[in-house]
Structure 1
Amino acid sequence: MRSKRSRLDQFIAQKLQVSKKAVRLLLLENRVQVDGRICKEVDKQINEFSQILLDGNGLQQHSRQYYMLNKPTGVVSATKDDIHPTALSLLDGIDFELMHIAGRLDLNSTGLLLITNDSQWSQALMAPETKVDKQYLVTLANPIDDSYISAFSDGMYFGYEDITTKPAKLEVVSEFQARVTLQEGKYHQIKRMFGRFRNPVVALHRESIGNILLDNALKQGEYRPLDEVEVLVTESLIET
């Protein structure tokens, strides 16, 4: 879960297509700024969000970006696809460089997608060891009852991967709906868990990831930036 770190002289040499000797001269002449300060260190460690200027002109000026999208059906959780529209294609006017999806949803699933260029944040958010809850509203083909609760809580063994799922919380919402909360995301996990009851999933809608709730004001296909509180709360959740 590390940022893409490199040495300052290597970055500038590659960016300008010049030798490292030429870069050292630029640094000695006080022409390079890193994060608002003159820098002379050739081995200065930088990442993809370091603000780097040469003679006041930007060589790298990426800023961290975080968005929530209300994903519709028929949209793939990918950066590009030859058949279906992608989640990133719905973010009109956004610079796609470095952007990726934190926590994918299946083609026909809907709800909360988080899209960011901060790989350290997204990987930590989705890692099972950070124990971040993901909550889904699930609509089933057949009636459900309280007997499902203990089966989800106990975990289920998947022979193909030779794994047992971590305990998941299931709340019966209505005869054909349940709210499922889990801290991992195995392949088609929720559909496969209900499959043990021979009860097909008709619709799967993600409502939240950690403390980030899908904004009900967003129609399917709409998005908005995360506000400062959502980002900070999520960062503190990851750190604990």
Structure 2
Amino acid sequence: MERLQKVIAHAGVASRRKAEEWIKEGRVKVNGKVVKELGIKVSPNDRVEVNEIPLEREAPVYFLFYKPRGVISSVKDDKGRKVVTDFFPFTDKRIYPVGRLDYETSGLLLVTNDGEFANLLTHPRHAIDKTYVAKVKGIPSKEQLRKLDKGIKLEDGVTAPARTKLLSSDNQKQTSIVEITIHEGKNRQVRRMFQAIGHEVLKLKREKYAFLTLQGLGTGDIRELTPHEVKQLRTLAQKSS
């Protein structure tokens, strides 16, 4: 037996919060009867309808995907560009990425059909570390990196404190490799943070998401998360709220 809003979220129809709103609004039926109580639990044998449409319950799946550059973090693209789900022809489940990596950014991306899980990890209240390695123009000074560490003003607000580390620099080519860890998910945030201190990002890769890494994977590779990893991610998000 599971809570009704959790079942709806697991089906990939909506986040748990949205499912709760729909229940309160009387848009959910269980075995033909409208249900407005959030505490109700249902079994796999119960018939659930959302907005008069029977709920198709899918077993939750969780993948770690090494997204290549030149791929959209979406399930479809009206310009015909390659999207994340093009790499998952082996599943018929309604999967989608957790958060986003922009078109030119490569690296670790989680993919699932579990709406509640995705919402938990992407909610601003849940501070999950994401580590990137950026190749930038020029060589940032310690003072410039310290600005990122303290939080820097962007057009949509001041960023939360980051952790940065200059990994290497090339005086001849005037480029640097910098590691940066953030826990927010603003649009193109890392690129804009470096732009704010005068260093354009030439190449960007997400190497870590919480405790997860790309170890053993090549570009475009996929692996399933273990049940223990899924549990760890849930626990981490809940603790950080």
TM normalised by structure 1 equals 0.76
Q: Does 1:120 align with 2:113?
A: no
Q: CA deviation at 1:196?
A: 2.0
Q: Aligned residues: percent identity?
A: 27
User: 1:33 — aligned with what?
Assistant: none
Match among 123, 144, 147 for residue 143 of structure 2: 147
Would you say the 8 A contact 1:148–1:170 is kept in 2?
A: no
Q: Does 1:234 align with 2:233?
A: yes
Aligned mates of 1:150, 1:217 — CA distance in 2:
33
Q: Which amino acid in the other structure matches residue 110 of structure 1?
A: S
Q: Secondary structure at 1:204's aligned position in 2?
A: strand
Q: CA deviation at 1:53?
A: 6.7
User: 2:62 — aligned with what?
Assistant: 66
Q: Secondary structure at 2:76's aligned position in 1?
A: coil
Match among 72, 81, 84 for residue 84 of structure 1: 81
Q: CA deviation at 1:62?
A: 1.5
User: 1:208 — aligned with what?
Assistant: 208
Q: CA deviation at 1:143?
A: 2.1
Q: CA deviation at 1:156?
A: 1.1
Q: Which amino acid in the other structure matches residue 197 of structure 2?
A: F
Q: CA deviation at 1:239?
A: 2.0
Task: Please list every run of 5 or more consecutive structure 1 residues that lacks an aligned counterpart in the other structure.
Answer: 14-19, 21-40
Aligned mates of 2:64, 2:183 — CA distance in 1:
19
Would you say the 8 A contact 2:31–2:46 is kept in 1?
A: no
Q: Secondary structure at 1:115's aligned position in 2?
A: strand
> Over aligned residues, Cα RMSD in angstroms?
2.7
Q: Which amino acid in the other structure matches residue 180 of structure 2?
A: V
User: 1:138 — aligned with what?
Assistant: 134
User: 1:197 — aligned with what?
Assistant: 197
Aligned mates of 1:218, 1:92 — CA distance in 2:
18
Would you say the 8 A contact 2:58–2:93 is kept in 1?
A: no
User: 1:32 — aligned with what?
Assistant: none
User: 2:218 — aligned with what?
Assistant: 219
Aligned mates of 1:239, 1:107 — CA distance in 2:
30
Q: Choose 1 or 2 for highest CA Rg.
A: 1
User: 1:34 — aligned with what?
Assistant: none
Aligned mates of 1:51, 1:77 — CA distance in 2:
32
- Count, aligned residues: 205
Aligned mates of 2:150, 2:46 — CA distance in 1:
55
Would you say the 8 A contact 1:144–1:177 is kept in 2?
A: no
Over 3 Å off, 4+ runs: 3-7, 43-47
User: 2:10 — aligned with what?
Assistant: none
- Structure 1 stretch 142-151 or stretch 76-85: which is displaced more? 142-151
Aligned mates of 1:111, 1:200 — CA distance in 2:
19
Aligned mates of 1:153, 1:131 — CA distance in 2:
16
Aligned mates of 2:64, 2:31 — CA distance in 1:
34
Deviations 1:89-121 (A, max 9, x none): 111211232x22112000010000100111111
Would you say the 8 A contact 1:74–1:107 is kept in 2?
A: yes
Q: CA deviation at 1:61?
A: 4.2
Would you say the 8 A contact 1:145–1:172 is kept in 2?
A: no
Aligned mates of 1:197, 1:238 — CA distance in 2:
30
